[in-house]
A and B are shown apart, each in its own frame.
Chain A
Amino acid sequence: MLGFVIRRLLMSIPVVIAVSFLVFLMVAGSGDPLADLRARPNVPAAVIQARREQLHLDKPIVTRYAIWAKGFVKGDFGNTLGGQNVRTLLWQRLQVTLRMVVLATLIAVIIAIAAGVISAVRQYTVTDYSITFLGFLFLSMPVFWLAALLKEYGAIRINNLLGTQLVFTVGEATPNLTGNWFHRMGDYIGHLALPTAALVMISVAGWSRYQRASMLDVMSSDYIRLARAKGLTPRRVMIRHALRNALIPITTVVALDFGAVLGGAVITEKVFSWQGMGSMLIDAVNNIDVNELLAWLMVTTIIVILFNLVADILYAYLDPRIRYD
């Protein structure tokens, strides 16, 4: 098993390198970082030329890539156009966003598995049709619209119901909040509630359908029939045999969907005015801030590749057939 893990890890390295090159090409081709300088009047050509050299724009693309890559590997992500250290900024924003993403994923997985299993076991009943329809509905809803709905309606209703402002709609935390850890956690959760709910609803919609299909597939298999023929209780057949096998595909789906959940978080952050990875990306794209964009893309891509790796390992752990690859 350990050999499997190490081999997969090693295989990821060339992928990361290849992606870094792809990302660099994309960002380098996404626009002219000197556009703002050129657009301004009265800027002498020498200044533009100097800036050009400073940003290495006069060198061939492979060289530029090498310069950036060397720095990146050493941990030097450069500065934003505004002069901020990209690495510090990225780290700070990443923590904010990961709070939402991790919490949403955990909650959504549990609900999705439950919904999918119930839907499969009660196939063709009203419960099944309702869950399926709701799934389709939320899958067809853009996350920003859903988030905005929650923001405009959910917050006021809940706060009125409880008499106090428990749920927030702006930002990821109350600024300058003092108090102990509990107090801060409560504040975080209050701010997390609605955005996470939006992400959860959409993730559950997709994953529960997948889990339903997986469960149905397993339930009609020969080994389930044999388990029943052995005289096992229906509950044992369902949990120990059916569910155990039906859970295998979804673990990988969830791990692989991390990129999508992150994308959803990026959008949701804008609705709730969070200062996370979302606003960082939007600023970076609008300003064509090459350093910021490169760091953003590379770090998130590495996390996605890592999650793919986790998915592979999890799969091997759960399914003995593919362990000795």
Chain B
Amino acid sequence: MTEVRREPAAATAAGEHQPAGMQPGTPEREFTVEARSQLRMVVRRFLQHRLAVASLIVLVLVIVASLIGGRIWHYGFEQVGPDLSRPPSWKHPFGTDGIGHDTLAQVLRGAQKSVQIALLVAFVSTGFGTVVGALAGYYGGKIDTALMRLTDLVLSIPAIAFLAVLAARVRHGSGNWLFIALALSALAWTYIARTVRATFLSLREKEFVEAARALGAKDRRIIFRHLLPNAVGPIIVAATIAVAVTILYETSLSYLGLGIHPPDTSLGLLISQNESAATTRPWLFYFPGLFIVIIALTVNFVGDGLRDAFDPTQTRVRA
């Protein structure tokens, strides 16, 4: 079945010839060629944001460090040694706490938990949120209303309480982080769903959808082949924001004692345990906090850079 594939909303410089076309037998090739060049444009625009690129590098380093650092570093996070409350030194780059834990090991463990949870939440909430948002945005009408009412319901409950109650289910044991991740996902999907719905609603009205439908393309094809690829940009941006917010919520829950429990540790838990030492033993208070800030900040910058890269409407002046 041939399809007319039009380039949606691309800003071509005057003089470039637009490849419109009824070319039997080659819709697949046309599609991938355009997708690749659009991707290249996005990447190029992203690379122009030095701050976003720098943040991405730092973020990747931190993620890698947190995921495998615990294995490499020779102190375990539960390990207790003879040095108590020591300031940072070569032996203990982040110092030690009053019981003899190596703070670097603890911070790495806490970061690992945060990153693990954030990645899982990003995955699950994006998957679920995209499905809900796509259905609501594409079909509209009663389905849209029903799904949006559901989203609104979840969002009516203050997030902290919502999370606290859900996470309270599994209080002890090391599987506890999974539950926290699922609880956070149960909240984060709403944000993704809203973004996807808005994108689909606006794309649905574009002519190329009408054209595809006129040629007999089924709903599923339209959604997967035409609408979703164009929604990828906003989805990724929404996902990065969700990741940043998730990290803050998870650490907050752990701070309140409602998230990750001892014997395991979290950056939030470390801060709650050591907040009174902020002036006397600052390394115990600052390193975990700075880690949270660095992760969230870099994710935010990357998200901002991505948003600029995907969004063709720029505030650059044109003739």
Binding site for B on A (CB under 8 A): 15, 18-19, 22-23, 26-27, 29-31, 123, 136-137, 139-145, 148-149, 151-153, 216, 220, 259-260, 262-263, 266-267, 270-271, 281-282, 285-286, 288, 293, 296-297, 300-301, 304-305, 308
The answer to whether A305 and B156 have CB atoms under 8 Å apart is yes
Docked-complex contact A216 and B251, CB < 8 angstroms: no
* Shortest beta-carbon distance from A7 to chain B in Å: 16
A interface: dominant SS:
helix
Contact status B258-A282, CB under 8 Å: yes
Given the interface contacts A140-B244, A285-B168, A300-B161, does A148 sit within 8 Å of B256 by beta carbon?
no
Asked whether A137 lies within 8 Å of B157 as measured between CB atoms, the reply is: no
Q: Chain A contacts of B10 at CB under 8 A?
A: none
Asked if B168 and A267 make an inter-chain contact with CB atoms under 8 angstroms apart, the answer reads no
Contact partner of A301 among B157, B244, B251, CB < 8 A? Answer: B157
Taking the nearest CB of chain B, how far is it from the CB of A295, in angstroms? 12
How far is B270's CA from A105's CA once the two chains are assembled, in angstroms?
Answer: 29
* Cβ–Cβ < 8 Å partners of A144 in chain B: 251-252, 255, 268, 271-272
In angstroms, Cα B154 to Cα A301, docked, is 10
Q: Taking A19-B156, A31-B169 as contacts, is the C-beta distance between A145 and B256 under 8 angstroms?
A: no
B residues apposed to A, CB below 8 Å: 149, 152-162, 164-166, 168-169, 171, 244, 248, 251-252, 255-258, 268, 271-272, 275, 278-279, 285, 289, 292-293, 296-297, 299-301, 304, 315
Q: In the complex the two chains form, is B160's CB within 8 Å of A145's CB? A: no
**Further pairs besides A140-B292, A142-B251: 9, Cβ < 8 Å:** A137-B293, A140-B248, A145-B289, A148-B275, A152-B279, A153-B279, A259-B158, A262-B158, A271-B275
> Could you tell me if A267 and B256 are in contact, using CB atoms closer than 8 angstroms?
yes
Residue pair A297, B161 in contact (C-beta under 8 Å): yes
On whether the beta carbons of B301 and A136 are closer than 8 Å, the reply is yes
Contact between B156 and A140 (Cβ–Cβ < 8 Å)? no
Distance between Cα atoms of A149 and B169 in the complex (Å): 32
Shortest C-beta distance, B52 to chain A (Å), equals 11
In the assembled complex, 10 residue pairs joining A and B whose CB atoms fall closer than 8 Å, in A order, are: A15-B152, A15-B153, A142-B251, A142-B268, A144-B255, A149-B289, A216-B315, A259-B156, A270-B255, A297-B161
Asked if A142 contacts B156 (CB within 8 A), the reply is no
Are the CB atoms of A140 and B268 closer together than 8 Å?
A: no
Q: Establish whether residues A30 and B153, one from each chain, have CB atoms under 8 Å apart when the complex forms.
A: no
Q: Which residue of A lies closest to B275 (CB)?
A: A148
**Please, which residues of chain B bring their CB within 8 A of the CB of A141?**
292-293, 296
Q: Which residues of A contact B159 (CB under 8 A)?
A: 259-260, 263
Chain A residues with Cβ below 8 Å from B300 are 136, 139-140
Beta-carbon contact of B153 and A145 below 8 Å: no
B244 touches A296 (CB 8 A): no
Instruction: Evaluate contact between B292 and A296: CB separation under 8 angstroms.
Output: no
Roughly how many angstroms separate A149 CA and B289 CA in the complex, as a whole number?
10
Q: Which residues of B contact A266 (CB under 8 A)?
A: 158, 160-161, 256
Cβ of A15 and Cβ of B271 under 8 Å apart?
no
Residue of A nearest to B163 (CB): A263
Closest residue of B by beta carbon distance from A35: B171
On chain B, the residues within 8 Å of A148 by CB distance are 271, 275, 278, 285
**Of the residues A26, A151, A271, A301, contact of B158 by C-beta under 8 Å:** A301
Q: How far is the CA of A30 from the CA of B154 in the complex (A)?
A: 16
Residues of A within 8 A of B279 (CB): 152-153
What separation, in Å, do the CA atoms of A280 and B277 have in the docked complex?
A: 26
Distance, CA A296 to CA B301, complexed state (A): 36
| Nearest CB in chain B: distance from A276 CB, A | 13
Whether A282 contacts B275 in the complex (CB less than 8 A), given A140-B244, A140-B300, A296-B161, comes out as no
Give the residues in chain A near B285, CB-CB below 8 Å. 148, 152
Identity of the chain A residue whose Cβ is nearest the Cβ of B157 in the assembled complex:
A301
Can you list the 5 inter-chain pairs with the closest CB atoms, starting with the nearest? Answer: A140-B296, A263-B160, A140-B297, A152-B278, A259-B158
Docked Cα-Cα span, A130 to B278, in Å, equals 27
> In whole Å, how far is A65's beta carbon from the nearest beta carbon of chain B?
15
B92 CB, min distance to chain A CBs, angstroms: 22
Give the residue name and chain of the A residue nearest to B186 (CB): A26
Minimum CB distance partner of B297 in chain A: A140
